[in-house]
Structure 1
């Protein structure tokens, strides 16, 4: 695990790596201290009668000596659970790096973040985080990891602020920050309806994302007063995709079609879906990072809804300057989770339980991805903008609201 904190006297975040197995061996041998990166982590062993004298008390009265990480009396313990090894290590590392940037940018001196590797076992990482005295968990990233972490955190009364976009894992102490597909679908359908489009169809993959996008699409069309003509699903193969696109094109007259898939699959499907007719193509937040869409003439003029990229561009520039490469788009979730934590920490007494009710503030929170607030299900509701695909990139045609 990696630990970082920030004080006004520090120009860099503090990084502390601890070997749990080594710590346990030293505990059994009665050794008292282990110092890494300038931070003290110690364990105390009570001697048997007639044995050696107990070690002296710590010089710093603000840190209590005991097994595990030091217990601060003036800083909040916050755990970051992300993959640092395995297939998703690069994404997890980008999120962790972004949290460090947020600590530096906010000059937060009351928050100490320790990173735990979920690739080694999400439940085990959560148990260690709880044992180390963390009062809030940021992450994990994958929905299956959230499912593993949730009961551990719930038993310890530690809330989870996950980076997942799976609304199915939210609730009962779990809040999700990820970009939920349903919100993007609702936003772009409402915009299209406002522009006069009446008859809607959709092309969605057969997976969890597609299922939720399709459900949101049906609700959005109904709420907007439109007419649902057809929804076609497909396995994510080229043959299945083109077959579904042909079925949709022949499925009845429609003037707006949603393609709830990545840009590459949209490019394959759009010429077939449009056929000889003139249809408005709609997309989701999955298109946000695909700058190649405009190179395909059939995609030009398509609309999609997503979080604003204005501030993210600044974060990406700063990230490249510090780490020498571009971040993953999800890095913004790590940054914004720290901004949220720092804001709440102003009125959160160190050593006490995290004030969960503060997450439900009506005015919500702001960050790299714009404003958002949590609903009573624990899902981040985001202010989204609508963009149009053009030959030179994306153009915002309906900005995200600046306040609720």
Structure 2
């Protein structure tokens, strides 16, 4: 999973209050319910019927109406949306862009009867390139911008899109770049921490410690931990932060308080969490009594089979959804999709669903930020908040040494929406 670091977005779990009338909210709620069926239906169609191979490279022909289009397009519908990707960025940016364009094409193909034309624009992996890509897409009639991926790119796009009143659904997981009209679809660490801490509290655990990096990611995780622990009356015994290579001191501090601890949050990924778990055991911490808690970065085959993390819990969209998506992706393109590619699939299917069900309202704030949210066959329940972040309905899994075991299913609706 890719991760953008950023600042804490407060209140991400709360339902946003918007200025729309009750009638507008009720109409948006009805659209959301219809769209949930469409989002689910696209994947069912893909799984059950023959599928022509979508072209991730796109066509070079413009759609039949509207301003002239330059560059690649996907689809031939009347509703234009942009897809901003770092197609010529250095490092792994170009490879990630290719996978996400493939996933977007797959989503467009899966949504039968869609009315979209997707204008694919290269950001070059920079804020300046992303801003120029957004300007070009808007001049060519884009009503919605999907992407870009990286936080700096989103920062470049935001002012351009807001000036033109064009909403953005970006792939970043950095809440610092979210804002009204700039919505981030990435997997946010604060929601993951809240979900797994809440599950631990509901299972009867009363106290918690944490070991996490000295980083912006760690700041987000710590803030969410303290918020959710306070909500459930859990005692936070210790929060130990470490610099790279400095885990030993944090492990020793937590081990010294082990008798007071019911669970330990380790939000780090496969390169760090197993080493910390082994060090805790070596320090005499009984991890058969104390439950290890992870985040979505544990949704990784490397973690699944690691004996040091067996018994630990982590939050994730239900794994079966991504597995089915990955199978279709492999059969179509012959490669393994990164988890982030599924966001491009979801965003394009969402745009197609809004275009089909919401008419002229399709990309209005009251529709995009509907508190009932949307239901994807790949990543499950999600919604956007008025200030640009998202909430997700996540499952809880247990590491078993092989296939993770489902502890708690993902919700199918937001309570209190």
TM-score tier by shorter-chain length is: 0.7 to 0.9
**Cα-to-partner distance string for 1:305-338 (whole Å, 9 max, x where unaligned):** 1111111111111111111110011111011111
RMSD: 2.5
Q: Which moved more, 1:155-164 or 1:166-175?
A: 166-175
Q: How does 1:111-260 map to 2 (within 5 A)?
A: 111-119=116-124, 121-237=129-245, 240-251=246-257, 253-260=260-267
Give the 3 Å change call, closer, same or farther, for CA 66–384 of structure 1 in structure 2: closer
Runs of 5+ unmatched residues, structure 1:
1-9, 18-35, 42-61
Give the 3 Å change call, closer, same or farther, for CA 297–70 of structure 1 in structure 2: closer
Corresponding residue number in structure 2 for 1:76 = 79
Give the 3 Å change call, closer, same or farther, for CA 84–108 of structure 1 in structure 2: farther
- Tell me, yes or no, if the aligned pair for 1:75 and 1:109 is still in contact at 8 Å: no
**Cα-to-partner distance string for 1:176-235 (whole Å, 9 max, x where unaligned):** 111100111111111111122111111111222111011101111111110011111112
- Tell me, yes or no, if the aligned pair for 1:187 and 1:384 is still in contact at 8 Å: yes
| TM-aligned CA deviation for residue 99 of structure 1 | 0.7
| TM-aligned CA deviation for residue 73 of structure 1 | 11
Give the 3 Å change call, closer, same or farther, for CA 306–74 of structure 1 in structure 2: closer
- TM-score in terms of structure 2 length: 0.78
Q: Distance in 2 between matches of 1:392 and 1:15?
A: 33
**Cα-to-partner distance string for 1:19-55 (whole Å, 9 max, x where unaligned):** xxxxxxxxxxxxxxxxx74x248xxxxxxxxxxxxxx
Q: Distance in 1 between matches of 2:302 and 2:67?
A: 55
Corresponding residue number in structure 2 for 1:326 = 336
Give the 3 Å change call, closer, same or farther, for CA 75–282 of structure 1 in structure 2: same
- TM-score in terms of structure 1 length: 0.81
- Tell me, yes or no, if the aligned pair for 2:83 and 2:145 is still in contact at 8 Å: yes
Corresponding residue number in structure 2 for 1:33 = none
| TM-aligned CA deviation for residue 347 of structure 1 | 4.1
Q: Distance in 2 between matches of 1:256 and 1:324?
A: 41
Which residue, 244, 261, 267 being the options, matches 2:268?
261
Corresponding residue number in structure 2 for 1:354 = 363
Q: Distance in 2 between matches of 1:207 and 1:168?
A: 14
* More contact order relative to length (CA 8 Å, sep ≥ 6): 2
Corresponding residue number in structure 2 for 1:102 = 107
| TM-aligned CA deviation for residue 403 of structure 1 | 2.2
**Cα-to-partner distance string for 1:243-277 (whole Å, 9 max, x where unaligned):** 32222222563121001100221110012234323
| TM-aligned CA deviation for residue 386 of structure 1 | 0.5
| TM-aligned CA deviation for residue 66 of structure 1 | 5.2
Give the 3 Å change call, closer, same or farther, for CA 70–122 of structure 1 in structure 2: closer
- Structure with the bigger percentage of strand: 1
**Cα-to-partner distance string for 1:120-163 (whole Å, 9 max, x where unaligned):** 52112112112222110001111111111100111111100011
- Tell me, yes or no, if the aligned pair for 2:67 and 2:141 is still in contact at 8 Å: no
Secondary structure of 2:375's match? coil
Q: Highest CA radius of gyration, 1 or 2? A: 1
Does the alignment pair 1:63 with 2:69?
Answer: no
| TM-aligned CA deviation for residue 354 of structure 1 | 3.1
Secondary structure of 2:404's match? strand
Q: Distance in 2 between matches of 1:339 and 1:113?
A: 11
Corresponding residue number in structure 2 for 1:312 = 322
Q: Distance in 2 between matches of 1:93 and 1:241?
A: 36
